[in-house]
Amino acid sequence: MKVYKIAAASLLCTSLLLSCEGNKKQENKELETTTATDTTAAPLKQQNFATTIDGKEVGLYYIKAKNINVAFTNFGARIIGLWVPDKDGKQTDVVAGPDSTEGFQKSTEPYFGATIGRVGNRIAKGTFKVDGKEYHVPLNNDANSLHGGKKGFQYVVWNVQQPNDKTLVFTYTSPDGEEGFPGKLDVKVTYSVDDNQNLKMDYEATTDKKTPVNLTNHAFFNLNGEGSGTILNHKVLINADTYTPVDGGLIPFGKLDKVAGTPFDFTTFHTIGERVETNNEQLKNGKGYDHNFALNRTAGNDLQKAATVVGDKSGIVMDVYTQEPGLQFYSGNFMQGKNTFKSGAKDDFRTAFAMETQHYPDAPNQKSFPSILLEPGATYHTVSEYRFSTEK
């Protein structure tokens, strides 16, 4: 498997002891972590997140560096807020989501800000084979499995440790057979921030049986600020000459199509709304953009730019860097105004977007796609970053 990383978050915290159930060496040990006290840039209430789920404590955590402040909860190892300055220097929350653990539990959109696994994106009919043996993941997206099944990592209470103000470490052991996947999977996700306004996500996993793994984060962004309205005027550039076309269930056909001459050509800047209503079969299948782009990568496993998004009102720029071969661009097509954001606004149609770094959808069933099978004795390691700045 390849090795990857993403940039992390911001900290405003006081120390607290939490029990951590990580790997065997960490079981039953107490780990020092931190919890939010400064709310000047992050008006979230600790009591709204302090609860117990499945016998584990849930809380609110921050990491911060110069001009970047990121809030998390260990329920789903979620990014729940991310504050960076806009073109006028105003601190702006660019990540959408509820303001409480209960809000995430009851949300009709389960993936707000969550760490996604074991397998991000879709598995056709929830079925795949490893060495000839067939496995079944619960169907939670019509006839297919999406983002790890009915109880993917977004519903897990992760163990959490905070080694410093700029770093937050989440760990979880997924038992053999969880959601139908083979093998015990030990997962560690490290979120960190730096003084250049970069948020890094560093994923690691090991297994005792061969198993598919495709981890990502599903933050919903509005670079004009959460609750500021449509994202259709955001400008997007994606470094991809091809994408994976899909059927009506959003399962890839197993081929790559050229983006040139189609609404999927973001090799130069276009707004999200410019072509999203074009009479195009693929846009009809996704009800907009909900497609994997096969990134143009040069040789090597270093971080390379995947995409750039610019907020039309704020001037906030988000560059996406990754070691992954793919990027899922989702234009908020299934948002229905049924959930309330931290700002008090509803999650109305296309008021947030996602850029999920990943291996390709349905990879276990597509022999032509890069493999996501992790072998015992090997380490899955991948890094991605969201890098923030403002238009010059």
* pLDDT tens by residue, 313-364: 999 999 999 999 999 999 999 999 999 999 999 999 999 999 999 999 999 9
| Sequence-distant (≥ 6) Cβ neighbours of residue 200 within 8 angstroms | 5, 6, 7, 8, 190, 191, 192, 193, 194, 383, 384, 385
Give the pLDDT confidence score for residue 3 in this predicted structure: 37
**Encoded tokens for 25:** 């060496």
Provide the Cα torsion 123, 175, 49, 381; round to 10°: -70
Residue 8 has pLDDT above 70, yes or no: no
Residue 15 has pLDDT above 50, yes or no: no
Q: Which of 36-40, 166-170, 173-177, 218-222 has the lowest mean pLDDT?
A: 36-40
| Partners of 166 in the β-ladder | none
Give the pLDDT confidence score for residue 41 in this predicted structure: 52
- Report yes or no: 131 and 143 within 8 Å, Cβ to Cβ: no
The answer to whether 218 is a known catalytic residue is: yes
Annotated catalytic residue, options 109, 226, 356, 385: 356
CATH of the domain at 354: 2.70.98.10
Residue 10 has pLDDT above 50, yes or no: no
63, with CB counted inside 10 A (0-12, 13-18, 19+), is buried
Return the sign of the alpha-carbon dihedral for residues 316, 112, 154, 214: negative
Helix (H, G, I), strand (E, B) or coil at 183: coil
What pTM value is reported for the model?
Answer: 0.89
Q: How far apart are CA 295 and CA 70, in angstroms?
A: 27
Encoded amino acid at 133, one letter: K
Which residue bears the tokens 């800047």?
A: 269
Annotated catalytic residue, options 147, 218, 234, 381: 218
Residue 14 has pLDDT above 50, yes or no: no
Question: What percentage of the chain has pLDDT greater than the value 90?
Answer: 88
Residue 299 has pLDDT above 80, yes or no: yes
- Report yes or no: 259 and 241 within 8 Å, Cβ to Cβ: yes
Give the model confidence (pLDDT) of 126-140 as tens digits: 999 999 999 999 999
Residue 133 has phi, psi (to 5 degrees) of -90, 135
239: domain range?
A: 5-390
pLDDT averaged over the chain?
91
**Based on the structure, what is the number of domains in the chain?**
1
Residue 32 has pLDDT above 90, yes or no: no
For the stretch 312-315, contacts whose Cβ atoms lie closer than 8 Å and that sit 24 or more positions apart, written own/partner, are 312/224, 312/233, 312/234, 312/235, 312/271, 313/224, 313/228, 313/233, 314/86, 314/87, 314/92, 314/223, 314/224, 314/225, 314/390, 315/86, 315/87, 315/390, 315/391
Give the pLDDT confidence score for residue 42 in this predicted structure: 55
The answer to whether 356 is a known catalytic residue is: yes
Asked if omega into 122 is within 30° of 0 (cis), the reply is: no
Q: Of 6, 37, 388, 62, give the one whose Cα is nearest residue 195.
A: 388
Q: Which of 26-35, 185-194, 362-371 has the lowest mean pLDDT?
A: 26-35
Q: Of 158, 203, 208, give the one whose Cα is nearest residue 183.
A: 208
Residue 101 has pLDDT above 80, yes or no: yes
Helix (H, G, I), strand (E, B) or coil at 133: strand
- Report yes or no: 64 and 12 within 8 Å, Cβ to Cβ: yes
Query: Residues 203-238, buried b or exposed e (16+ Cβ, 10 A)?
Result: bbbbbebebbbbbbbbbbbbbbbbbbebbbebbbbb
